[in-house]
Amino acid sequence: MKIPFEEVIEVLQNLIRIPSPSRGEEITADFLYKYFKSKNLDPVRHLNNIYIKNKYFDSQKKNILLNSHLDTVKPNPEWNHDPYNPIIIDGKLYGLGSNDAGGSLVSLLATFIHFYDKKNLKYNIIFLMSAEEEISGKGGVESVLPELDSITFGIVGEPTEMKMAIAEKGLMVIDCISHGRSGHAAGEEGVNSIYLAIKDIERIRNFRFPKKSKLLGEVKMTVTMIKAGAQHNVIPESCHFVIDVRSTDSYTNEEILKNIRDHLSSEVNVRSIRLQPSFISKNHKLVKSACDIGLSLFGSSTLSDQALMSFPTVKIGPGNSKRSHTADEFIQVNEIKEAIEIYVKLLERLIL
């Protein structure tokens, strides 16, 4: 079963026309559900996530997940084109979400339909179009994965120029509070919490984790926010600062958090440790298949739904991550055509 390439592009244009901000994907999910129904397929909806299994799904077989997201960020005010009017100029399809990650979504959609009604596949295929990816929301992929059969490995569609990311950094946001003692600024009373925070901020700035990832480099810690004081003549009793931590496959988020707590005098509170770094072995059959067809491998510093998947995954898709979240976002039409060809070729080596 195949769909014409012109229809693939038409589906993407229809997706662009529908505003689909994170937590506001209802109409987009409606559209995709109805689209699959029009193809006499059997989609399942969970919140604003849509998933579908291949026709001859066999519960005795292992499962491959194909995933991309249907939500977008909100458009910034610098657009020269209408972000919801999909236009093609010189082979470029402009529109909000065209690159991140509409191009990946429709490429995986076409790939899934290509294999949908084939018999005697070595693996089942589950295609998941997830919500709330841009905010790592709990109503997205995290909510729907428990509804699916056990996944053996997955392909996550994001703009990577069809290079394969076999590692991805994780994320933690940490709130720190240094506790001093208030007093009058003119006297010698009090303990200045700002000065205490500065010492800890310097420790963060200068600290290096011993283990360095071959693909992702060092764990990166950056102080991005600070707040203290209410008036000029009062020594502040507390100072709050925020650390953005980008984790690698060399450490779990839990290990990094313990290390931070051991080295700081400030109170340390993590908002979440759920966005873990990802890594898949170069010896994995999926990665070997990619190498066999000449795909490049790399480690990605940008976050995706991989962070919420406990099984081996790679990230690969058409487009360029530098275009994501920018004004006049676009994807080359030919990038989508090439992506479908590569996805199909990659999966053929695994499931036929």
Instruction: Give yes or no: residues 212 and 329 share one domain.
Output: no
Q: Distance (Å, rounded) from C-alpha 296 to C-alpha 163?
A: 5
Instruction: Give yes or no: residues 326 and 243 share one domain.
Output: no
Instruction: Give yes or no: residues 322 and 224 share one domain.
Output: no
Last residue of a domain, one of 236, 270, 304: 270
Instruction: Give yes or no: residues 174 and 239 share one domain.
Output: yes
Instruction: Give yes or no: residues 235 and 191 share one domain.
Output: yes
- Domain hosting 39: range is 5-167+277-351
3-state secondary structure labels for all residues of 122-160: CCEEEEEEECCHHHCCCCCHHHHHHHCCCCCEEEECCCC
Q: Please name which of 203, 192, 178 lies closest in space to residue 268, comparing C-alpha atoms.
A: 178
Instruction: Give yes or no: residues 291 and 336 share one domain.
Output: yes
Instruction: Give yes or no: residues 163 and 174 share one domain.
Output: no
Q: Distance (Å, rounded) from C-alpha 88 to C-alpha 335?
A: 13
Instruction: Give yes or no: residues 255 and 334 share one domain.
Output: no
CATH number of the domain that residue 223 is part of: 3.30.70.360
Q: Distance (Å, rounded) from C-alpha 256 to C-alpha 237?
A: 28
Count Cβ atoms below 10 Å from residue 24 Cβ, excluding itself. Answer: 16
Instruction: Give yes or no: residues 103 and 190 share one domain.
Output: no
Instruction: Encode the chain (352 residues) as per-residue pLDDT tens digits.
Output: 889 999 999 999 999 999 999 999 999 999 999 999 999 999 999 999 999 999 999 999 999 999 999 999 999 899 998 999 999 999 999 999 999 999 999 999 999 999 999 999 999 999 999 999 999 999 999 999 999 989 999 999 999 999 999 999 999 999 999 999 999 999 878 999 999 999 999 999 999 999 999 999 999 999 999 999 999 999 999 999 999 999 999 999 999 999 999 999 999 999 999 999 999 999 999 999 999 999 999 999 989 999 999 999 999 999 999 999 899 999 999 999 999 999 999 999 999 9
CATH number of the domain that residue 291 is part of: 3.40.630.10
Instruction: Give yes or no: residues 98 and 111 share one domain.
Output: yes
Instruction: Give yes or no: residues 148 and 34 share one domain.
Output: yes
Last residue of a domain, one of 238, 270, 302: 270
Last residue of a domain, one of 222, 246, 270: 270
Instruction: Give yes or no: residues 70 and 101 share one domain.
Output: yes
Count of domains forming the chain = 2
